[in-house]
Structure 1
Amino acid sequence: MKQNKYDDPGFFANYSQMPRSTGGLNAAGEWQVFKALLPDLKDKNVLDLGCGFGWHCRYASEQQAKSVIGVDLSENMLKRARESSAEPAIEYLQLAIEDIDFAPGQFDVVISSLAFHYVENFNIVCKKVNHALQPGGSFVLSVEHPVFTALAAQDWYCDQDGNRLHWPVDGYQNEGQRIARFLDHDVIKYHRTLASYINSIIDAGFRITSISEPQPSKEILEAYPEMKDETRRPIFLLMAAEKINS
């Protein structure tokens, strides 16, 4: 079953108030690192899986991509994306990530930001991405870090005064579904080990070119001081890969 929390009015209202929802890419602590992993997008055909409000799609268009397709399951997300820009190079499709079925070699670049931890069958998606990419094409993605997803609680261990003592990691090797509390709602996520992420990408026919576990930049911490504890453990995992020529 494909989860569509973003069309729940209460969840969507809460999500819309998040800094990255109102401030865009510059309010996303991992954006500068993610951007550095991207290839030159000029004249490229780009696919964004889990495009949300379309921030990455619009960035690709600004970089003179030849065409951009954004895929998302949420009608609310796509409505906001379309309202934010009417750039002719961008097409938005309401579709579950797992259900993509594009032509062989249709894209030069496939990106995905913080979406795959909502997808149960990551290995199948990797194979579909490989199928849709040109030989040598780029696959750049970010997910919640396995250290972050191992425990469903996804919260700090605090003392009696509420001071954050440490981030607990348990059940790391037990992959599968987690019911996490996010934005005051129960949300289904899928925990995978770092090895599973890496091997799924390799087994699908990619060569991994970079892995990053970024922390918020100095500028982000100055703008959002509440993010200071994000330097104490990784929250995001970013990877770049290229399709092996065949």
Structure 2
Amino acid sequence: MSQNIYDSIPFFESYSKYPRMEKGLAGASEWPLLETMLPPSLVSKTVLDLGCGDGWFSRWALDQGAKAVCAMDVSKNMLSRARALSPPDQYSGITFRQVDMDIEVLSEKLDPEEEAAYDVAFSGLALHYLVNLEAALRQVFRSLSPGGLFVFSVEHPIFTAPQRPGFNKKTGAGAAQGQQDWPLSSYFAEGEREVNWLGAPVRKQHRTISSYLKALRTVGFEVVVVDEWGVSEDDSRKHPDWPNDGGIPRFLLISAMKRVDAADSL
């Protein structure tokens, strides 16, 4: 079962002050790169938004001309916020559903005619919380129509790897003012990591890049694009809350396609 930390009131109130909650797309630093991995047009497409949070991607998809969006999240608080920000007179095409992707069968949450009927599936920074990633990927695979695209982001494995994560101040010749190092350890020791974030213990699952790619291929996806996002000298890639980290990768971004000749693998 996924940890539902966002239904903790103190945690949710703290997280609500984060840029990506206050600003939506504008507060998601990796969004410009992630957007390039999506289809050039969403007009008349059906979209699945997994780990929808407050619904920012679902609203964006509908604004881009999507026919319908099914938005799922484990958190009641997030879904309540998403509904409040998505007035029915403007976003009637969005259906919000509470789903724990770690224990529930995704296809059972869909109407029979919806199975294998989504053109695009999207997940923003949610899959690294799942214990059983491969099972969830099988569900996504089955929900997509042939030729459908799955685009997602996760915390970069370099960032999730350390057993005791934390920046160290960089010293020595050539160190930029205020620059900090991210000590990498335990990269190949996959499994649960617990970090203290916003005053609460948060559980994540560390996987290597190769494990993400292998899981996608195992269930039948064809990997299309693999990219990485990290702070650079480009102002558009900076984040006001993050230290000068010397350019470590923060997010792993992947797009994968359900081949037209692929058979359902659930």
Give the TM-score band, short-chain normalised.
Answer: over 0.9
Which residue matches 1:118? 129
Please report how far the alpha carbon of residue 110 of structure 1 lies from its aligned counterpart in structure 2 after TM superposition.
0.4
Give TM-score, length-normalised by structure 2: 0.86
Q: Which has the higher helix share?
A: 1
> 2-side partners of 1:45 and 1:151: how far apart?
38
Where has structure 1 moved over 6 Å in runs of 4 or more? none
Is residue 52 of structure 1 aligned with residue 53 of structure 2?
A: yes
Q: What is the DSSP-based 3-state SS (H/G/I as helix, E as strand, rest coil) of the residue aligned with 2:36?
A: helix
Is residue 107 of structure 1 aligned with residue 118 of structure 2?
A: yes
Comparing 208-217 with 59-68, which one deviates more in the overlay?
Answer: 208-217
- Larger radius of gyration between Structure 1 and Structure 2: 2
Q: What is the DSSP-based 3-state SS (H/G/I as helix, E as strand, rest coil) of the residue aligned with 1:60?
A: helix
1:29–1:215 CA contact under 8 A, matched in 2: no
Which residue matches 2:194? 179
> 1-side partners of 2:170 and 2:49: how far apart?
41
Give the unaligned 5+ runs of structure 1.
none
Please report how far the alpha carbon of residue 27 of structure 1 lies from its aligned counterpart in structure 2 after TM superposition.
1.3
Instruction: Tell me the number of residue pairs that the alignment of Structure 1 and Structure 2 aligns.
Output: 243
Is residue 2 of structure 1 aligned with residue 17 of structure 2?
A: no
One-letter identity of the residue aligned with 1:24: G
Which residue matches 1:209? 224
Provide Cα deviations, 1:72-127, integer angstroms capped at 9, x if missing partner.
01000000000001211000001112321245312110000000010011111111
Please report how far the alpha carbon of residue 225 of structure 1 lies from its aligned counterpart in structure 2 after TM superposition.
4.2
Comparing 25-34 with 226-235, which one deviates more in the overlay?
Answer: 226-235
Is residue 145 of structure 1 aligned with residue 156 of structure 2?
A: yes
> 2-side partners of 1:42 and 1:231: how far apart?
40
Q: What is the DSSP-based 3-state SS (H/G/I as helix, E as strand, rest coil) of the residue aligned with 1:37?
A: coil
1:105–1:132 CA contact under 8 A, matched in 2: yes
Please report how far the alpha carbon of residue 180 of structure 1 lies from its aligned counterpart in structure 2 after TM superposition.
1.1
1:52-201 to structure 2, matched below 5 A, reads 52-86=53-87, 87-98=91-102, 99=104, 100-101=106-107, 102=110, 103-158=114-169, 164-201=179-216
One-letter identity of the residue aligned with 1:204: V
1:67–1:89 CA contact under 8 A, matched in 2: yes
Q: 1:124 to 1:190 in 2, by over 3 A?
A: same
Give the unaligned 5+ runs of structure 2.
172-176, 262-266
Q: 1:104 to 1:226 in 2, by over 3 A?
A: closer
2:120–2:144 CA contact under 8 A, matched in 1: yes
Q: What is the DSSP-based 3-state SS (H/G/I as helix, E as strand, rest coil) of the residue aligned with 1:202?
A: helix
2:227–2:254 CA contact under 8 A, matched in 1: yes
Q: Equivalent pairs: percent with the same residue?
A: 38
Please report how far the alpha carbon of residue 69 of structure 1 lies from its aligned counterpart in structure 2 after TM superposition.
0.6
> 2-side partners of 1:238 and 1:176: how far apart?
20
Q: What is the DSSP-based 3-state SS (H/G/I as helix, E as strand, rest coil) of the residue aligned with 2:128?
A: helix
> 1-side partners of 2:214 and 2:197: how far apart?
28
Which residue matches 1:218? 235
> 2-side partners of 1:219 and 1:172: how far apart?
29
Give TM-score, length-normalised by structure 1: 0.93
Q: 1:231 to 1:135 in 2, by over 3 A?
A: farther
Provide Cα deviations, 1:167-192, integer angstroms capped at 9, x if missing partner.
11111111011111111210110000
Please report how far the alpha carbon of residue 219 of structure 1 lies from its aligned counterpart in structure 2 after TM superposition.
3.1
Q: What is the DSSP-based 3-state SS (H/G/I as helix, E as strand, rest coil) of the residue aligned with 1:80?
A: helix
Please report how far the alpha carbon of residue 195 of structure 1 lies from its aligned counterpart in structure 2 after TM superposition.
0.4
> 1-side partners of 2:245 and 2:64: how far apart?
30
Provide Cα deviations, 1:145-171, integer angstroms capped at 9, x if missing partner.
0000001433212369x9554111111
> 2-side partners of 1:121 and 1:225: how far apart?
33
Q: 1:231 to 1:134 in 2, by over 3 A?
A: farther
Which residue matches 2:36? 36
Please report how far the alpha carbon of residue 226 of structure 1 lies from its aligned counterpart in structure 2 after TM superposition.
4.3
